A and B are shown apart, each in its own frame.
Chain A
Amino acid sequence: MRDIFFDLSVRSVKLNFLRSILASIGIVIGVVAISSMGMLGANMQLSVKQQLSSDVNTIMISSDVVRTTSTAGTPTTSQGIDKSTLNDITTAAGLNQVIPIHNTRTQFTIGSTDGRGSIYGLDPNDITKFLTIAQGENIKGGSDALVGANIATNFNMNIGSRIKIGQDNVSITRPTVRVAGILAARGFASDGVNTDNAIIVPDTWYTDHFGNKDLYDQVNVIMQNIDTINQTEAAIGDKVNRRTDIVRISDASSRLSSISSTLGTITTFILAIGSISLVVAAVSIFNVMMMSVNERIQEIGILLSIGTEKGEVRRMFLYEAFILGVIGALVGGICSLIIGYSVVSAMIGNTAYFFLPASIIYVPYGMIIGVVVCILSGLYPAWHASNMDPIDALRNE
C-alpha cells in the first residue's frame, strides 16, 4: 500500500494541476538546457578528439638536437637521422609502423606560375598509412607526385598536371613531376607532416634530386595502440639516445590533452549558462510550494493537532516538490533528446556520437539535477509547514 503522505501530495498536485504544471515547465526548461548543453559539449569534444586522435597516435622523431663535440667544443647541428639510427628506431618500435620522411622547402613552377612550398619524399607504400588521397591515385615511383589540397586549389592543378621543381634558372632544365593524385585536406597535422601546401614525391625521386640518401629529416612511428605510446617512446629513447641525445622524441598527446581541457572548460561554461535556467526554475518551484503551504495552513494544523509528526508533514511537502520535479524531469528528458539531437546536428553537423554514453549521460544527469533542485526548493516550505503552531494553524481560515 502506498504512503498516505504520498497520496496527499499527489492529490494536492492534482487539485492545483495547472499551477503545478506551470511550475514544472521551469524544470523542463532547466533539464533541457542542462542536458542539451552538456550533450553539445560532449559531442563537440568527442568529434574533435576523433579528428585529432587520427594523428596523435604518432611519435615524431627529429634530429634537430644540438650536439656538443667533446674535442673542439663547438656545437654542431646534426644533419638528420642516419640509417643506423633508423635501424635502432625500427628495432625499438617493435610492431609499430616506422615511416622515414625526407623534407625540405623548394620553389616550383606550374605552367607559368611560380610557388614555394614543402616537398616530402616518402616511400610510396608508406603514404596510405597516414595520408588520404582525395582524388586520383597513389604514386608508384618514378616522377609521380601527390599534391596537397591547398596547393591543388591555389594553382588550379588536376590529375596529370606537371610541376617543375627547383629554382627557375635559364641555364638548367628543371626536373618535372606529374600529379597522380590530390590529398585530402589535413589542416594543422599534429604528426608534423603538413601536406596541405606540399608536394609529395617518391623517396627515390627525392634522393635522386636532393641527395641525402639514407639521411632522414624526420621519422614517424605510428602506434597501433595509443596506450603504449609512452613505453615505446621510452624504448626508442633508450635505444637511440643511449649516451647523448641524438634525436628529439615527441608526440601530440599533450596538445590533445590541452585541447580537450579547453573544450572541457567550454562545456562547463555552457553548462553553467544552462544552470541559470534551473535557478529560475528553483524560484518558481519554491513559489508554488510556498503557495501550497500557505493555502493549506488549516490542513497542516489539523494534521499536527491529531498527532502527525513534524517529519511526516515535511515529508508530505517534499513529496509534492519531488512529484513536480519528476514530472518536469520526465518531460524535460524527452524534450532533451529531441532538442539536444537537433542542436548537435545543427551546430556540429555530426550526430555519430550523440548516443554514446559520454553524450547521452547528460539526459539522466539533467533529470537528476532537475529533481534535486525541486527537492531543494521544497526544503524551506516543508520546514516552514512542519514548524507551524497547530493552534494558530487551525484558526487560519
Chain B
Amino acid sequence: MNAPTPINHTQAEAGLVARFDAVRPSLAGSIAVTALRDAAAEQIKATGLPHRRVEEYKYTDLRAFMKSAAPLAAPATSAEAKSVLDGFESYGALDRYRIVIANGTFNADLSDVDALAAEGVTVTDFNDGLAGENGSELLATPKMAGQDGTLALNTAFVQGGVVISVKDGADVSKPVELVQVAVGEGAQVSRNRIVVAKGATFKLLETFAGDTGAGETNVVFDYDVADGAKLAATRLMAGKAEGAKLFTTLARIGADAEFKALGFLAGPAFARNQQFISFTGENSEAKIYGVTMARDRDLADQTLIVDHAVPHCNSREFFKTVLDDEARGVYQGRINVAPHAQKTDGEMMTQALLLGEGAEMANKPELEIFADDVLCAHGATCGEMDADLLFYLRARGIPEAEARTLLVLAFLSEAIEEFDEDTVTEELGARVRAWLAA
C-alpha cells in the first residue's frame, strides 16, 4: 500500500485533530482501546475526512460538507435528557421499552433496565466494556469496511453507548427503542453492540432526539445475530438537521437466522446510512430496506455491502428514494458472493422518484459473484411521477397535492410493506406524510 500523501487540513480536519488531543485523556477504554483510538485519529490526520476521490464517498463528500469540527457534546444530566425526550415524538403510543443514550453515553436512569432484565435482556454501559479485558474487541471492524472514514471517526471519538444482550431463546415481548438524545449542541459519537443469542427474537427501534446543531452525529450499531436468532431493526432519522448524520451498521448473521433492517432518512442536510453485513452461518436470510427522502440541496446516502461468505443464504435489498428540489440521493449497494457460497440468492433493487427538476440520484447497484451456482439479480430505476397515475386520481376528485402525496406514499410503501413490521408501518407512513407536508 502507498503511504498516504500528507494533506492540507481543512478547518474541520484541523478541528478534529485538536478535538482529539483535547478529549483523549477523558475518553474511556483500556490501553488497547486507546491504541485503537490513536490509530483512528492518526488515519484522520493523515488522510482527512472521506471525500469524493475516495471511491466509497464519491457522491458523498463529507470533507466538503463539514465546515468545522464542533466540540463533543458535554455530558448531560438525566433531567436535561428527560426534558428533551418529553418533547420528542417517535412512535407515539406504541408499547415499547426504552434505552437512552444521552450525549453519547448510556443513561441507565432513563432506561428500562430492570424490565428488560426480566425479559432476558441485559443492558450495560459500552464504556464498561471498553475498559474491560476485551475492550478492543468492541471496536472491531470488518475487513470489507476497509479504512472507512466514518468508522475511524467513531473509533477515535466514541463517547459511549450500550451493550444489549438478549439471552438464548428469549422472545422479547415488546420492541425496544434505543434513542440517542442530544442535549444542547455538539457532536455525538456512540457505539452500540447488540447481541441476539441463539434462538432469540428481538425488535429494535433506533431513534434520534434533540438537535446537535452543527455537530456531527456518528453512531455505530454493531449486531451479532446468533444461530436461529431473529433481529428486526428500524432506524428512523426524520427531521431537519444541520450537522452530518453518519450511521454505520455492522452485522454478523449466524446460521438459520433472520436479520431485517430498514433505514429511514428524511430531513438532514447530510446523511449517510452505511451497512456492512456478513453471513457467517448457512440457511440465513437478510432483508435490508431503505426509505429515503431529501429536498432543498440536501444529500442522503444509503450504502451497503452484503457479504455472502457462506453458502445457502438469501438476501434482499430494496431501496426507495424520493428527491425534490436540488437534492441528491445516493445508493451504493454491493452483494459479494464468495467462491464457495453456492446457492446464494440475492435480489437487489433501488428505485428513485424525482420530484424536482434539479434533483439527482446516483444509483450504483453491484454484484461481485465468485460462485457459479447462485441466483442474483439487481436493478435500478429512476424517474418522475407518472402523469397518467396522477390524472387518474385527480379525475376522481383528489386534489393535486393530495394525489401526489398518495403516489409518493405508494411508491415508498412498497419497501415499508415488504419490511413487514407491524409496529412501525403506520408511524413510517405518518413520517412520509409529514415530510411531504413540510
Q: Do A and B come from one complex?
A: no
The interface of chain A, by Cβ under 8 A from chain B, is none
The interface of chain B, by Cβ under 8 A from chain A, is none
